[in-house]
Amino acid sequence: MKNYYTNLLCIFFGVTLVFSQNQKTKDSLSTQKLSEVILTSNRLEIPFSQNSKTVQLITADQIRQSGVTHLVDLLQQVSGVDIKRRGAGAAQADLNIRGGTFDQTLLLIDGIKLEDAQTGHHTLNFLPPPEMIERIEIIKGPAARAYGQNAFTGAINIVTKKEAPKRLTLNLQKGNYDQTNGSIMIGSSNEKTSVIGFISKNTSDGYRHNTDYDQNNYFIKSTFNRHKTPIDLITTFSGRKFGANGFYATPSATEQYEETQASLIALSQRYTKGNWILKPKVYWRRGQDMYEYIRNKPNIYRNLHITNKVGAAYDVSLSSDLGITGMGIDLSRVSIQSNNLGNRNRTMTNFFLEHRFYLFDNKVDITPGVTANYFSDFGWHSFPGIDFGVQLNSKTRLYGNLGSTFRIPTYTDFFYSDSTTIGNTDLKPEEANSSEIGVRLSTAMFSVSFAYFNRKAKNLIDYVKTTEDALWKAENIQEVNTSGLDFELIYTININNLRHQFKINYSYLKNELKNSSFNFSKYAINNDLKHHLVGTYSLPLTKKWGAFFVYKYVERTSGDAYIVVDCSTRWSLDVFELSLYFNNIFNKKYWESNLVPMPKGNGLIGLRYSF
């Protein structure tokens, strides 16, 4: 099977080169300027060009061109976003931004917060299928002022589609390690209602011992009352069963096994009344995690955790001659049932208030704001901050922000215990002060942005130990200073009326640990992304045939470095579409988390039929 895909790859490159040589080289400098995106990840709805944070967008068109099956692979194409996978097929992966841990980054779907009081290890289980996404808003830097305590180092908001073409789409993929991916997507709409439904099943025998997986995903997005004030309903469920060879314990623990479930039901609405924008939401998020140290032998060691979060939010904004005022409240009840962590619950209340001032003919804007959180077991905490922006001209914007951020310990931090790890009920909340300054230049053909950031954190929670044989224990590290750079360049050009796009992302990160007596660390000190360079090229060969290339260079603070190259191609034939996807085409040996080796060169062949 491996030789088969290698030959396919050679044929693909050969045909591409021959075809490209026969293309006319006349360049067209005209490009289509996309309509301005309004950021819904902000509490205040403002155009992307007027944003005063480092935010990167991934559109539905870019998702389709990339050819990825899992959003995990797509997020790895954004520098500074560290997706630490354990195995193939996105069975389990951690989400980290700017050197934070998986507990310090928040995931949202249509503005619904999906943090887990147990652990952030399974946050990415809630990711919708790529086919259901309108765009992805990636906020780098603390977003606690907008969302509360879990957005310590950043947040990702997934904006789902409101409607899809009236068609039924069947998709089947087959690849190495007996990977089999099948999905069905249906779209239907009329004047009053639209419905998008998606069902998928992905399986594999695994690329090494005990790395098989079986994944099921269901996602439904419905919009009612479209002709008046639309009401959106999301219903989603993800179930995963997978061999977890060395995923969490030492590499010698080869027989681990895990089953997870992630589900969400949410109702939301957005309506306007004069200068007012009102956005109510109600939601129920459920997570389940069952872990066995020895597969099919739960009597040896088994954990079962079930978490629930029920909440309601109401955001309001008002435009006036004085600027834009935003305010809101988010109430939620969190509970956990666990044979290891116990049965516990907490009530959370989040208030926010901010105002955007416009000065000097709207060339300067200043946005101070504050968020106050109440936790039934931690009391009150607040996060003040301020954003500022200067529009130097129609194409160039200078921006910056200052703010504080905060994270309370998870139930795992407090209470978890096994043969290698113990929690700590005396933990204090994490705190940090963050600052950032950046510049963004946008034209019809290209955009470029550069930002420098700094974060000073204290009481940072990590699992540490002083000797190699000691138990991992959750502790508050006294102080960690993190600084770094973010750079992004996007260049788009039309050649023979075909849209080519080049993108380069680069991030640099530096951590300085202060006053620590611990020699070993799981998360906060070791293995962050020091240098992260990603280059992508969307190459249209004809109007119906295109290719996509990804180059990723990673150097971690531990000294490990590697290069991974992926590529894909799609060929549309009326109602059919043929796709090829190749991962790690140069067979690089590398790991992303916990010394779990990643798969070497592998690929998928897909056929899609729509009617």
Q: Which residue has the tokens 């079962």?
A: 304
25, amino acid identity: T
Burial letters 104-130, b for 16+ CB under 10 A, else e: bbbbbbbbbbbbbbbbbbbbbbbbbbb
C-alpha span between 205 and 180 (Å, rounded): 9
Of 366, 357, 311, 407, residue with least CA distance to 103: 407
Instruction: List, for the chain, all residue ranges whose pLDDT scores fall below the cut of 70.
Output: 1-35, 41-42, 515, 523-526
Q: What is the pLDDT of residue 195?
A: 94
3: which 2 tokens? 């030789």
Quick one: tokens of 321?
């001659």
Distance of alpha carbon 592 from alpha carbon 529, whole angstroms: 10
* pLDDT in the model for residue 18: 36
Nearest to 377 by CA among 420, 340, 326, 342: 342
573 with 140: CB under 8 angstroms?
Answer: no
Alpha helices in 23-91 (DSSP H): 60-66, 71-75
> Computed over its alpha carbons, how large is the radius of gyration of the chain?
24
CA angle 261, 264, 269 (to 5 degrees): 170
Q: Which helix (H) or strand (E) holds 555?
A: strand 545-556
- Which residues, 6 or more positions from 479, have their beta carbon under 8 angstroms from its beta carbon? 456, 457, 458, 460, 513, 514, 515
Residue with tokens 């955001």: 315
Count of Cβ atoms closer than 10 Å to residue 300 Cβ: 11
567 backbone dihedrals φ, ψ, rounded to 5°:
-155, 160
At 167, give phi and psi (nearest 5°). Answer: -160, 165
Shortest CA distance to 185 belongs to which of 232, 233, 129? 129
HSE-CB of 302 using CA atoms within 13 angstroms: 9
CA-closest candidate to residue 258, choices 121, 148, 129, 139: 121
The b-or-e profile of 152-191 (16+ CB within 10 A means b, else e) is bbbbbbbbbbbbbeeeebebebebbbebebebebbbbbee
Give tens-digit pLDDT for 226-276.
Answer: 878 899 999 999 999 999 999 987 788 899 999 999 999 999 999 999 999
| Contact indicator for 303, 339 with CB cutoff of 8 Å | yes
Query: How many Cα atoms within 13 Å fall on the side-chain side of residue 17?
Result: 6
**Which run of H or of E encompasses 82?**
strand 81-85
**Residue 473 backbone phi and psi in degrees, to 5:** -135, 135
CB distance 67 to 77 below 8 Å = no
| 11 Cβ contact list (under 8 Å, min separation 6) | none
| Residue 568 neighbours by CB under 8 Å, 6+ apart | 66, 67, 68, 547, 548, 579, 580, 581, 582
Catalogue all structural domains in the chain, each as residue range(s) with its CATH number: 2-610 (2.40.170.20)
- Other beta carbons within 10 angstroms of residue 508's beta carbon come to 18
Of 485, 486, 507, 490, nearest to 447 (Cα)? 490
Strands 154-160 and 105-109, bridge-based pairing? parallel
> With contact defined as beta carbons under 8 Å apart, do 491 and 530 qualify?
no
Which segments of 22-152 does DSSP mark as H helices, in order?
Answer: 60-66, 71-75, 144-147
Q: What is the pLDDT of residue 298?
A: 94
Residue 250 CB partners (closer than 8 Å, separation 6+): 420
Which pair of tokens denotes residue 46? 């403002």
Cα–Cα nearest to 552, from 569, 580, 570, 529: 529
Q: What is the maximum span of the chain, computed from C-alpha positions, in angstroms?
A: 70
Element (H, E) at 5: helix 2-21
What CA–CA distance (Å, rounded) separates 490 from 266? 35
CB 78 within 8 A of CB 97: no
